[in-house]
A and B are shown apart, each in its own frame.
Chain A
Amino acid sequence: MAQLFQTSIGRKVAMALSAIFLMVFLLQHFTINSLSVISPEAFNEVSHFMGTNPLVQFVLQPVLIFGVVFHFLMGFILDIQNRRANGQTYIKYNGAANAKWVSRHMLLSGLVILGFMALHFVDFWFPEVNIKFIQGDWSGTAEGVEGFRYYEELRHKFVNPYRVGAYSVAFVFLALHLNHGFTSAFQSVGSNWGRKKVLQTVGLIYSYVIPAGFIGIALFHHFTH
């Protein structure tokens, strides 16, 4: 096993597995967020469950954090290795002739997403950690808010148009990242599904619908505030 990850292919399999894991998480995250548009109560319920369930908090959350950190660190490491393999660069290189822009710029789209995540953590995750782990408040309620606080906090965040703008831009890059990443992950783990029309279509739908959905949710809250 350890031997596997010492090979170039092993590393790319690891990269792909973390990607597939993150894509599943993204789908879950998106589903919960969608509830905020349909039913604030349901959103609050689920958010509270996710925020307080010990399995989620103490098992899944660390796994997720590991997955995220692993994915971007590995991304950097592989990119550095790949650059090193290049040697002298071409005077003229027509990358557009044979590969899609998105596939050639995963690092760029990844970096934008990483930047977004910093913002996202400042917005949501750090306050949550602060409330739950530092202040020790696991009630899910806040002063002046009826029932659970999650929905109101979410609404509050999307008042600022700059934040909404930043989120939207980041999601565009997420779409680009997924556009290549989805099928690429299947190829990397040795599956030919990534080459099949069906999965390519699913990938295409996934890579556009989810980021567009996130943008839609942000805009919805911004304009209905």
Chain B
Amino acid sequence: MRLTLKIWRQENAQAKGAMVTYPIDNISPDMSFLEMMDVLNKELIEKGESPVAFDHDCREGICGMCSMFINGEAHGPDRNVTTCQLHMRKFKDGDTIHIEPFRAKAFPVIRDLVIDRSAFDRIQHAGGFISVNTSGNTQDANAIPISKHAADTAMDAAACIGCGACVATCKNSSAMLFVGAKVSQFALLPQGKVEAADRVQHMVDQMDLEGFGNCTNTGACEVECPKGISLENIARMNRELLKAKLF
């Protein structure tokens, strides 16, 4: 395949970035998108140019590190995949592909396609945990039965990989799917209910402080989420917050 890539290049956080065009040839449809980027970078390095910086690590869709906005969509046109799981067979020979970093005020660019998502970490520091010491002296794991439904729903929420596609794709740069997923996971489990009220308030406060936008329920996040995290988690978070503030 022969492609034209238009990639956002930005030397550092302070620099002004711009789209730069790179033609690329001999791309196999079986390559993953990032392997295509590897090929480009190899060419750039050997030409003495600076390679395109991008985040990636596990390359199997679970670490949540990769984060490209491809042709106007977070993680590209395929569904339920991260950028690293996107394959070139989703594109046609001769295509022009736009590649930008995930954008939001709370996700400043570090370099090229690499962004700083530490805002997500700080939201978790604020309350994304159950306050139990790791001494091992807890009760037996089967002491509190948890309905299969609750456990499965909690698992679905917990599947979030924290990649930030929800924020990137949201026209409001809202982080509510991410925060909603974490709040939901704990709120659904008996162990997490004990401090549910404090948790949701702290996490939402931190989320607001980080400068994420508000949710207008367009549902774009749910569509672009590589793990298919449901919008129901946002409703649950709203509910939890109302409960916490009103009762």
Q: Are chains A and B touching directly in their complex (CB below 8 angstroms)?
A: yes
Which of the candidate stretches A33-41, A82-90, A137-145, A214-222 sits at the interface with the other chain?
A: A82-90
Interface size class, chain B: 35 or more
Query: Taking the complex as formed, is B198 at the interface, i.e. its CB lies under 8 A from any CB of chain A?
Result: no
Q: How many A-B residue pairs have CB under 8 A?
A: 158
Q: Known: A7-B241, A86-B103, A188-B217. Contact between A98 and B224, CB under 8 A?
A: yes
Q: Give the chain A neighbours of B173 by CB distance below 8 A.
A: 82, 85-87
The yes or no answer to A48 lying at the interface (CB within 8 A) is no
Q: Jot down 6 A-B pairs with beta carbons below 8 A, ordered by A.
A: A3-B245, A10-B241, A82-B216, A97-B73, A189-B242, A194-B217
Q: Mark B102-115, 1 if CB is under 8 A from A, else 0.
A: 01111111000000
Apart from A94-B72, A99-B218, what 17 extra A-B contacts exist at CB < 8 Å? Answer: A4-B242, A4-B246, A9-B238, A9-B242, A11-B214, A85-B104, A85-B212, A88-B103, A106-B216, A180-B218, A184-B217, A190-B237, A190-B241, A192-B232, A192-B236, A194-B217, A195-B232
Listed residue (B174, B214, B219, B242) with the most chain A CB atoms within 10 angstroms of its CB = B214
Q: Which residues of A contact B (CB under 8 A)?
A: 1, 3-4, 7-13, 78, 81-95, 97-100, 103-104, 106, 180, 183-184, 187-192, 194-195
Tell yes or no: B239 within 8 A of A by CB: yes
Partner-A contacts on B (CB < 8 A): 6, 8, 17, 19, 69, 71-73, 77, 98, 100, 103-109, 169, 171-174, 176, 201, 204-205, 207-208, 211-220, 223-224, 231-232, 234-242, 245-246
Q: Which residues of B contact A93 (CB under 8 A)?
A: 72
